[in-house]
Structure 1
């Protein structure tokens, strides 16, 4: 029974369910006929797909796509009749209360959806017996509103084997001659109201691709983006906006199509009142050439500009307008901070004026138009210093641009507008851009967003995905978690990679591919590729030193091993799966492995050249070959599928010297040495662990004992962090505990030499989200007193001192935070090291102890397999 419940409630995309269990679950997909089942595809022939003639356009788009999906699975597109004929076995899609077909079944007592009215985006899939005269059986997909019907339709598409990424990553669809829906009903609804992503930093990759394939970032292109969003069960989009782009102005059909498909449009955190920032500089309707983006000196023109945005939103010709979530507030010109010392009173006046414009243009109270205020970077400071906006406005908190949420609600949890989170998989800014490849661990995303949900951020989740590709894996996870955070448990996270791989490539290699993407994500998250350079990690021989806990060669070997496994799996896969495999698995692994080889060769070249060792020349050749191979990998990606994705991997990623990317790829400098004799053979240093005699290093999940209490339990999260995994206390969002609450982990350790024992706690970086400015964790030895370690990690731009900025930079660069305690005069022998849970959102990854000096960041060897 527990397994059946897990299958029924786990809200992740899955491949066609053909197991006996699926055939026993109500309204589930089965490949064999069962009592009372509905034939969705019977001997290759699909059921007809029908909507009312008066149905919302969003249902028409979804129904058309679903009919095509049935063709992808069964071989023939489903017919789309305008009415139900006698003898038919139709799929009927509609909104309760707005569909004559659905309402007729309700009134006839054939369909019970009395609990649906008023639910947000809820849907129900029901096999209905004798729904209409002359019709023996139908499948009704009923929405509480238009998007509920859309999501109910795309939910079924995913269950019959059509991936949301069928177009955007060319995931193939497995053919099935027979597909049935078992008798009964299935209902679902989202737990987070607005769920979506932000296309950002889209030059050169996304923009180049869109221009070459569609002639620009226009409605023809956005049709695919909107469909992807909806298939992922998202409803909200911040469009590509970096100059000179403007969603509503560049192609007026963009907003028309978005609304017609059911997408709620927004604008990014620094673009108020539905206006793209570039529109201000186009000087189309605000009356002044070169007008200052300054409310104190140019308020009249800014108000005129913003009014134009709301008037355009209402130009649909009805009382509702184009469905939007309106961003309020104001940042500096070009997504910069406003002038130092700007008073919160000024921003409060700005918001009040913006809401007055909304009310005047819409002709209804401002609170009837959904609005959001993004507390991004310095704007959060205004909130912390007391600025408030009306209760109906959603407050959107943000992470530090590197995956650590900065703030979550502590009071006013019942505010009408609720709270949300703006998260990042892509970023331009200090300490360095990261835009090229996916470097996000879903385990980290889960931990942070699970905390956000527990703390009441349930109105809006949006993630910056850069170019969309190659963020397919973490974006799928983010959207699945957003749909139902309660179902995405720690165990569900552990199962997710394999299930995602199964949905993309079928069962044959799902486990192996799931392990590949998990290890890739963990390796890539250790340090963003844009931050890697020849000096990032020390190279060592048996007499060398190790910095950052891992020898460079060891990491190169890990990447090489991962690449070999990736190639071995590809060689066993059918050819029709190769394009999707390249995009989702092969290219990221091959490109990252090659990048490590490049910088490793440069590091050896420079070390040997400094010693006038002619072997430096061999490494110079290898470095140049790797640099050329990087371009070859990009070119191969762009040639794939007759150039369908040409330009999408054009992001510059080699040659950074500061936070901003170089204009073009730059080969790292290498030096050749005159060869005055036979060069010694090149022998790569093997993976080398420095002499750490007397140092005890324990992975956090390898505790000796876990003591739970106060409603909390310890949970190991595999792969979270740099090595084996991490441990945290669940459920998250709970109040601080004390030593008396007795929530602790115990590690039995043996110290060989007496002395002052240093203990390092290695943490996955997190930030205090309560406004206190610090987080605490306790550590003690045996029955001795507890030392409280205080983590005062502050995000940029909150960090005000050089030391604080260095601490944050190091934490996000190395993806680890280290706290240390010293226990004087510790005798040799066996001891029990106790780690105490004090504050929430503290994630323990490793424990290191010794009575000799420990390197500042001793991470030990990476996880082995």
Structure 2
């Protein structure tokens, strides 16, 4: 170790400010500072680790089991950082020597309450705060204890989050187990003096394990013997380390509480709030209805019009199981109410509003009878998913204390938000979002294709629209959604802190926290470009016909748009490999999972289909160069399998089975039954292919004299703000360098005359009849109207309203709006065109004005013909 490295290691310091991942988890590569950026004073800062020794962790003997769990985790985390064996958690101060960390709940910890009574700590502002915590450094709290860090929770999860906040800040990633992120060792870690309070802005924050066959199920079966409590122990810890609190468990043929009753007990013991998915009411897994057929109450159809008595009995069992804890409150849960058809299908033809209202009324009667409390005292959620939202739009009544869970369109566009100016609801509002989906226009399950910039734009819209009670996201198998999931839950903790600047900083700070600061900028840029490229079109929607090739001559092949995309992936893969080469070997397993595999697998997939496209095109003209590309298809298909096997060998086979998803050669919306190579054809040839087939090249772009000008939306000439609104550039959002969004979101419509505008000065080489096309990211009218509107004008002429009218569907695209939606989510783009009349060659000014919220502009094209 160099003298500089030794000094850095000895002087590593910890900040408690903000939630920036840079300050939350940078390992011992650089000294950190105090809350406001000032150097830490070792005379007053608290030594969590000092000369390789760690502070003693203490909890009350009677502390809640969730406190006991997190105290043990914190003790282990301190030991990981120090590189020593974990010390046991103490349950009393007597006998303690040196620095102490005390974790407990205000009003439930005798030691904390005694410190408060003695005036040594002040934490009264925590009372009544949902999951709030305060971290306080105290001098000489007890004899023989020179200094202590007191982690006080307003409730048990507040204390849990206060402790895990410390773990993350000392360099233990929430993904240290679930993605093998290593923990850098330090000889000294200091926590800043003073007091720091934090609390979530969204009440329930979590994820839904779904579509988990074959990957998560196959992996869990090999590693744990099934999707059971041994597996869920790691899931619960991951959720809590990310400061989430709510989980919908795996449900494809699985029943959380029935498969392994210890899972439900462990969730509650660790402090996790359990629920069930949008279509599994009353804490009953759908799979349970099809089990235990010897039970006469399980008989008959899943149909309330024909089998209400048996369904009520079945649902009662779920609430009775919740109350089996025997403490009068039950296992901590949010009960899903309502009903969809068996297998997550529509429950009935037409609008079943009256039937659903009766179902919920009967379910709430069961809740009240079993809990012996008013139904409103048990948290409940009603998911307005797919056709259920249609019922709500047509007047379905929802009890005021039930959380209304709106949804996206399964492809990342939020469908509905609370009405502007609506009276507050006791149950509040939530959003069910998707990183993974099985359904039309095509499944997407294999790999992460989610941009954090898109997630930010939609969830910021939701939060500012009043959705502050529940955020839950469908993450498929959890892996490989690590990056967007971490972002989603970070934002859910405090959406107001995730400003556009914090969003722009997030990739770099995430990379620094995960891999250290040396390669943070490079890796952050890699994951950002990966997300942008992958989101252009889901890999399940790509084949050899997805993008156009260029021309063919006897001497060369022009790759066209398809070749340009492959070139981008080739360059990204080179950058990824260069970054990997600079990392220490201990980071390689994590890097492979989080960066190398997604980049390499997607780059390889593009090469495969690119080669298949050339093989198909050249075969038509009996061109023997087709054979070269046939070889390339076979090679890239083999490479795909090698990458999967490499993933399954990580860390001694720890993740065997997790990448088993079929992901190529789709022909319908659903998965193919097996992985298969695209069809290839070989042409008879006299000369070996290697001697006569040059690599395709990309012709240099020719000067455009056709009267077409394309402008990135972020390359505006001027911007005008009014009514507290301003168009703001969000880098990397969408398919180009970035997009423009009018901020703050959540505001009512405005008029073109309000001049909340973007001006673009452009020059046309030729004149003619002009058309202006806006290229937008897909978005929906969250008010339930006829689409989102934006106004355009040319050279000070009259404004024209353009409207993006998309209608989500899970089935046949039988209306223009549904067809437009299917095309938009497949292409990840909406194009709106206005006729601008006759124009001359020369300079022109395009004006784009805000009208509706939730319009995301990526680029503009002005064409004169």
> 1:502 is paired with a residue of what secondary structure?
helix
> 2:517 is paired with a residue of what secondary structure?
coil
In 2, Cα distance between equivalents of 1:753 and 1:391: 61
Aligned with residue 53 of structure 2, among 45, 48, 53:
45
Kept after mapping to 2: 8 A contact 1:394/1:459: yes
For residue 790 of structure 1, report the CA deviation from its aligned partner. Answer: 1.4
1:766 aligns with 2:776: no
Kept after mapping to 2: 8 A contact 1:18/1:29: no
Q: What residue is the counterpart of 1:463 in the other structure?
A: 473
In 2, Cα distance between equivalents of 1:758 and 1:819: 10
For residue 729 of structure 1, report the CA deviation from its aligned partner. Answer: 0.8
Q: What residue is the counterpart of 1:70 in the other structure?
A: 78
Aligned with residue 59 of structure 1, among 56, 64, 67:
67
Q: What residue is the counterpart of 1:863 in the other structure?
A: none
In 2, Cα distance between equivalents of 1:516 and 1:163: 20
Matches within 5 A, 1:364-403: 364-403=373-412
Matches within 5 A, 1:316-327: 316-327=325-336
In 2, Cα distance between equivalents of 1:606 and 1:754: 39
For residue 120 of structure 1, report the CA deviation from its aligned partner. Answer: 0.3
> 1:847 is paired with a residue of what secondary structure?
strand
Task: Point out where structure 1 has 5 or more consecutive residues left out of the alignment.
Answer: 1-5, 853-865
Q: What residue is the counterpart of 2:693 in the other structure?
A: 681
1:552 aligns with 2:562: yes
In 2, Cα distance between equivalents of 1:723 and 1:285: 59
Matches within 5 A, 1:144-155: 144-155=154-165
In 2, Cα distance between equivalents of 1:428 and 1:518: 25
Cα shift readout 1:468-523 (whole Å, capped 9, x = no counterpart): 01101000100000000000001100000000001100111011000000000000
Q: What residue is the counterpart of 2:660 in the other structure?
A: 650
Kept after mapping to 2: 8 A contact 1:499/1:510: yes
For residue 764 of structure 1, report the CA deviation from its aligned partner. Answer: 0.8
Q: What residue is the counterpart of 2:279 in the other structure?
A: 270
For residue 286 of structure 1, report the CA deviation from its aligned partner. Answer: 5.5
> 1:703 is paired with a residue of what secondary structure?
coil
Matches within 5 A, 1:158-307: 158-243=168-253, 245-283=254-292, 287-288=296-297, 290-307=299-316
In 2, Cα distance between equivalents of 1:712 and 1:181: 40
For residue 287 of structure 1, report the CA deviation from its aligned partner. Answer: 1.8
1:849 aligns with 2:859: no
Quickly say closer, same or farther: Cα 1:803–1:121, change in 2 above 3 A.
same
Quickly say closer, same or farther: Cα 1:577–1:701, change in 2 above 3 A.
same
In 2, Cα distance between equivalents of 1:42 and 1:285: 62
> 1:128 is paired with a residue of what secondary structure?
strand
For residue 810 of structure 1, report the CA deviation from its aligned partner. Answer: 1.1
> 1:480 is paired with a residue of what secondary structure?
helix
Kept after mapping to 2: 8 A contact 1:23/1:34: no
In 1, Cα distance between equivalents of 2:34 and 2:237: 31
Q: What residue is the counterpart of 1:409 in the other structure?
A: 418
TM-score normalised per structure 1: 0.95
Higher mean alpha-carbon deviation, 430-439 vs 409-418, is at 409-418
1:833 aligns with 2:846: yes
In 1, Cα distance between equivalents of 2:35 and 2:606: 48
Q: What residue is the counterpart of 1:344 in the other structure?
A: 353
For residue 82 of structure 1, report the CA deviation from its aligned partner. Answer: 2.2
For residue 754 of structure 1, report the CA deviation from its aligned partner. Answer: 2.1
For residue 10 of structure 1, report the CA deviation from its aligned partner. Answer: 3.9
Quickly say closer, same or farther: Cα 1:286–1:12, change in 2 above 3 A.
farther
In 1, Cα distance between equivalents of 2:700 and 2:199: 52
Higher mean alpha-carbon deviation, 369-378 vs 801-810, is at 801-810
Kept after mapping to 1: 8 A contact 2:28/2:184: no
Quickly say closer, same or farther: Cα 1:425–1:60, change in 2 above 3 A.
same
Q: What residue is the counterpart of 2:103 in the other structure?
A: 93
Higher mean alpha-carbon deviation, 764-773 vs 795-804, is at 795-804
Kept after mapping to 1: 8 A contact 2:440/2:669: yes
Kept after mapping to 1: 8 A contact 2:710/2:860: yes
> 1:439 is paired with a residue of what secondary structure?
coil
> 1:230 is paired with a residue of what secondary structure?
helix
TM-score normalised per structure 2: 0.95
Quickly say closer, same or farther: Cα 1:437–1:86, change in 2 above 3 A.
closer
For residue 799 of structure 1, report the CA deviation from its aligned partner. Answer: 8.8
For residue 133 of structure 1, report the CA deviation from its aligned partner. Answer: 3.8
Q: What residue is the counterpart of 1:121 in the other structure?
A: 131
Aligned with residue 807 of structure 1, among 809, 820, 825:
820
Q: What residue is the counterpart of 1:358 in the other structure?
A: 367
For residue 22 of structure 1, report the CA deviation from its aligned partner. Answer: 4.7
Higher mean alpha-carbon deviation, 494-503 vs 342-351, is at 342-351
Quickly say closer, same or farther: Cα 1:92–1:677, change in 2 above 3 A.
closer
Kept after mapping to 1: 8 A contact 2:52/2:83: yes
> 1:39 is paired with a residue of what secondary structure?
strand
> 1:701 is paired with a residue of what secondary structure?
coil
Higher mean alpha-carbon deviation, 753-762 vs 525-534, is at 753-762
> 1:127 is paired with a residue of what secondary structure?
strand
In 2, Cα distance between equivalents of 1:203 and 1:127: 47
For residue 181 of structure 1, report the CA deviation from its aligned partner. Answer: 1.3
Matches within 5 A, 1:333-732: 333-410=342-419, 412-541=422-551, 551-676=561-686, 680-686=692-698, 692=704, 693-732=706-745
Cα shift readout 1:63-82 (whole Å, capped 9, x = no counterpart): 00100000100112234222
In 2, Cα distance between equivalents of 1:166 and 1:29: 29
For residue 691 of structure 1, report the CA deviation from its aligned partner. Answer: 7.8
In 2, Cα distance between equivalents of 1:466 and 1:204: 11
In 2, Cα distance between equivalents of 1:799 and 1:629: 36
Q: What residue is the counterpart of 1:746 in the other structure?
A: 759
Kept after mapping to 2: 8 A contact 1:704/1:746: yes
In 1, Cα distance between equivalents of 2:782 and 2:432: 14
Kept after mapping to 2: 8 A contact 1:763/1:817: yes
Higher mean alpha-carbon deviation, 814-823 vs 33-42, is at 33-42
Cα shift readout 1:599-643 (whole Å, capped 9, x = no counterpart): 001000011111111111111111011101100110011011110
Q: What residue is the counterpart of 2:795 in the other structure?
A: 782
Kept after mapping to 2: 8 A contact 1:29/1:181: no
Cα shift readout 1:679-708 (whole Å, capped 9, x = no counterpart): 643340416658853210000000000011
Task: Point out where structure 2 has 5 or more consecutive residues left out of the alignment.
Answer: 1-14
For residue 783 of structure 1, report the CA deviation from its aligned partner. Answer: 1.5
- Give every structure 1 segment of 4 or more consecutive aligned residues whose post-TM-superposition deviation is greater than 4 Å: 17-22, 676-679, 687-692, 797-800
Quickly say closer, same or farther: Cα 1:543–1:96, change in 2 above 3 A.
farther
For residue 802 of structure 1, report the CA deviation from its aligned partner. Answer: 3.5
> 2:806 is paired with a residue of what secondary structure?
coil
Quickly say closer, same or farther: Cα 1:20–1:669, change in 2 above 3 A.
closer
1:25 aligns with 2:38: no
Quickly say closer, same or farther: Cα 1:460–1:689, change in 2 above 3 A.
farther
Quickly say closer, same or farther: Cα 1:585–1:19, change in 2 above 3 A.
closer
Quickly say closer, same or farther: Cα 1:290–1:8, change in 2 above 3 A.
same
In 2, Cα distance between equivalents of 1:129 and 1:617: 77
Higher mean alpha-carbon deviation, 678-687 vs 440-449, is at 678-687
Quickly say closer, same or farther: Cα 1:272–1:840, change in 2 above 3 A.
same
Quickly say closer, same or farther: Cα 1:211–1:779, change in 2 above 3 A.
same
Q: What residue is the counterpart of 1:862 in the other structure?
A: none
> 2:311 is paired with a residue of what secondary structure?
helix
Q: What residue is the counterpart of 1:861 in the other structure?
A: none
Paired residues in the alignment total 840
